[in-house]
Structure 1
Amino acid sequence: MNVELITSEDLKQFKNEMLSEIKRLIGTPQGQSKQWLKSVEVRKLLNISPGTLQNLRLNGTLRFTKIGGMLYYKLADINKLLEGGAL
């Protein structure tokens, strides 16, 4: 039976490698923008109030996806809205 000792330094190195890999997998690559935006991000981007954003949702001007209690908007849909000049 072959026994290998694991030191605290080995564990620290493993942790750093694991965190780097997780960040790489879930992070947005440099130079690319997000595909989905939260309500706060959309309001800042369009410079509108929460009520205006709600009206855009209710009248079907801006599509959204609800996951849990959060609302998400496709960046492509927001770009189409801006190109159409609806705001």
Structure 2
Amino acid sequence: MSNFQHPFNDSLKKILDRLEHLIKQSEFKNKQDPNYVLLDNSDILKLFNISPKTASNWREEQILPYSQIKGKIYYKLGDIHKVIDEHYNPNKKK
């Protein structure tokens, strides 16, 4: 049996690790309901290791749900979990 891991799985693991790190750092942390944990745009850029333009494209393409208050963009943690789950591809090969 091979221990080979697909690069996608490594990337997903890194994203999930970053997400967990951001959750721990967030002063808005509420483990009971992820919909009340807010991430801002800079958190998302770090989390997914993407550019501001990519984040903008994902919002325009309705990939990432968001709220905007006077130019500041916020994301609900629960929505980020949903996006990751919706795009998850275990890519199991035997």
TM-score of the aligned structures, taking structure 1 as reference length: 0.57
1:39 to 38, 41, 46: 41
Q: Which runs of 4+ in 1 moved over 3 A?
A: 31-34
1:65 to 67, 74, 91: 67
Pick the structure with greater CA Rg.
1
1:79 to 78, 81, 84: 81
TM-score of the aligned structures, taking structure 2 as reference length: 0.53
Aligned residues: 59
Q: Mark the runs of 5 or more structure 1 residues left unpaired by the alignment.
A: 1-26
How big is the shift at 1:40? 0.4
Q: How high is the sequence identity, in percent, across the aligned residues?
A: 34
How big is the shift at 1:85? 2.0
How far apart, CA to CA, are the structure 1 residues paired with 2:74 and 2:38? Answer: 6
One-letter amino acid matched to 1:39: N
Q: Mark the runs of 5 or more structure 2 residues left unpaired by the alignment.
A: 1-26, 89-94
How far apart, CA to CA, are the structure 2 residues paired with 1:28 and 1:77? Answer: 16
Aligned residues: CA RMSD: 2.3
One-letter amino acid matched to 1:36: L
